Amino acid sequence: MPIYEYKAFASGGAVQSGVIDADTPREARTKLRRINLLVSDLRERGGGGRVTAGSKKSLPGIGNLFARLRQQRRQSSTPSMRNLEILTATTRQMGTLLSSGIPLAETLKAMIEQAEERSTETMFREIRERINSGSSLADALAEHPYMFGELYVNMVRAGEATGNVDVVLRRLADYLQAQRALRRKVVSALTYPVMMIGIGLIVISILMTVVVPKISGMLTDMGQTLPAPTRILILVSDLFKDYWWVGCLFIAFVSFVFERIYRGSDKGRLFIDKNMLRVPIIGELLRKQAVSRFTRTLSTLLQSGVPAVQSLEITRTVVGNRVIADATDHIRTRILEGTDIATPLKQTNAFPAIVGYMVSVGEQSGELEQMLDRISLAYDDEVDIATERMTSVLEPIMIVFLAIVVGYIVVSIVLPILEIGNFGK
């Protein structure tokens, strides 16, 4: 059902604005007249046309096309860091309000009133409109896939079926907060090395394009035969200064090919993810991050009442690594054949042996969800250790590399100056 944004005059002459769902603009005006609002402007949300008080229908135009493209992009994208932050806060607030006995409609009204961004406010208004028209909370959330993913919607649907929506929302908030913390750990671990590489490239670029050409020009004017290291440095500097655009094109081409292989081909993504796990230090960090995400997601879904097969299907989409995702799909297939989770998990060889052993113990004791929680917490600690180890190893490597490059440049410049001094004696 379309959503319309409106501006209208109330009985006292005050101007009001908001959103309302209706099959047609005429029905939207009828609904607004029932609550004593006289429409002055009516616009279908997501479209470029506007229905004013005297018009019959909106005219299609190029704005409609761009609006549809924007909507498709929003629906196909995964939550950004900012969306994840907003989602975590609002989920916890909703869970707290519902657990306090406040009705869902009033809870959503509170979320609308305290929304800090206009887009968030509009989203909750649309959700509230859908619920007031008889839709379930899960179905209303599913209308906004760019914010509420498959995992979120299915957990809410399971909570509605069991009457524990507030519990599910609090559990979801804990899950989202843990995911944010895990992502921050990895990002913070990679920030320092990336900054050092960036600063090193800037320093080397300045030396090769500004400093070296000036000094090499002075040395060449003296007519002295230059040492081999200096000649090599001048050659590299000339190439760097005259053909830097070739390097930029090469980097762009490699990035494009990598993106096409990774995004456009299942085999290509599997090949890249499999080899990334084999990279020393970094591969260890990526595997532990994927295992933590797998166990935490599966535990959260199972505790919320989502069936095991469906839980594994959802978990497959959020682990972030094709090797672990294929292993999850294999476990799901074997469960459909009647086996347990631990046996196919061990057979995949994608998970550390200790994970299979702990999952087996959890199944035998009837505490699988709690055991998965313990595994995820343990691997969160492992991620901390792996990030510290990666930083401690990469830092001296990059320092030594930059020292060698800068040292070579300095030596190549100083050598001919020393030779000139010796020649003068």
* Residue 284 in domain: yes
Residues 406 and 318 in one domain: yes
Residues 277 and 170 in one domain: no
Range among 14-28, 236-250, 314-328 with highest mean pLDDT value: 314-328
Residues 94 and 233 in one domain: no
> How much is the pLDDT for 390?
79
Distances (CA, A) of 302 to 256, 298, 315, 373: 39, 6, 11, 11
Residues 384 and 302 in one domain: yes
Count of the separate structural domains present in the chain: 3
Residues 41 and 94 in one domain: no
Helix, coil or strand: residue 366: coil
Residues 352 and 275 in one domain: yes
Residues 87 and 67 in one domain: no
Residues 297 and 416 in one domain: yes
> How much is the pLDDT for 375?
92
pLDDT confidence tier of residue 68, bands split at 50, 70 and 90? very low
Give how far the C-alpha of residue 389 lies from the chain's centroid of Cα atoms, to the nearest Å. Answer: 24
> How much is the pLDDT for 13?
60
In the beta sheet, which residues pair with residue 20? 4
> How much is the pLDDT for 73?
42
Rounded distance, CA 233 to CA 247, Å? 18
> How much is the pLDDT for 171?
86
Last residue of a domain, one of 23, 47, 72: 72
Residues 63 and 119 in one domain: no
8 A C-beta contact, residue 375 and residue 291: yes
Rounded distance, CA 330 to CA 347, Å? 9
pLDDT at 410 over 70: yes
Q: Give residue 312's identity as a one-letter amino acid code.
A: L
* Residue 424 in domain: yes
* Residue 86 in domain: yes
Mean pLDDT taken over the chain: 79
Rounded distance, CA 186 to CA 316, Å? 20
Last residue of a domain, one of 72, 92, 111: 72
Residue, of 39 and 321, whose pLDDT is higher = 321
Residue, of 339 and 33, whose pLDDT is higher = 339
pLDDT confidence tier of residue 272, bands split at 50, 70 and 90? confident
Residues 199 and 84 in one domain: no
Work out the average pLDDT over 194-212. Answer: 82
* Residue 330 in domain: yes
* Residue 136 in domain: yes
> How much is the pLDDT for 79?
55
* Residue 182 in domain: no
Structural domain span for residue 106:
77-176
Work out the average pLDDT over 174-203. Answer: 81
> How much is the pLDDT for 55?
39
> How much is the pLDDT for 331?
92
* Residue 181 in domain: no
pLDDT confidence tier of residue 239, bands split at 50, 70 and 90? confident
Residues 237 and 89 in one domain: no
pLDDT at 188 over 70: yes
Residues 139 and 269 in one domain: no
Q: What is the pLDDT of residues 129-184, one digit of tens each?
A: 888 888 888 888 888 888 888 888 888 888 887 788 888 888 888 888 888 887 78
8 A C-beta contact, residue 23 and residue 2: yes
* Residue 19 in domain: yes
Rounded distance, CA 88 to CA 174, Å? 8
Q: Give residue 169's identity as a one-letter amino acid code.
A: L
Last residue of a domain, one of 156, 176, 196: 176
> How much is the pLDDT for 82?
64
CATH number reported for the structural domain that contains residue 100 in this entry: 1.20.81.30
Rounded distance, CA 37 to CA 15, Å? 9
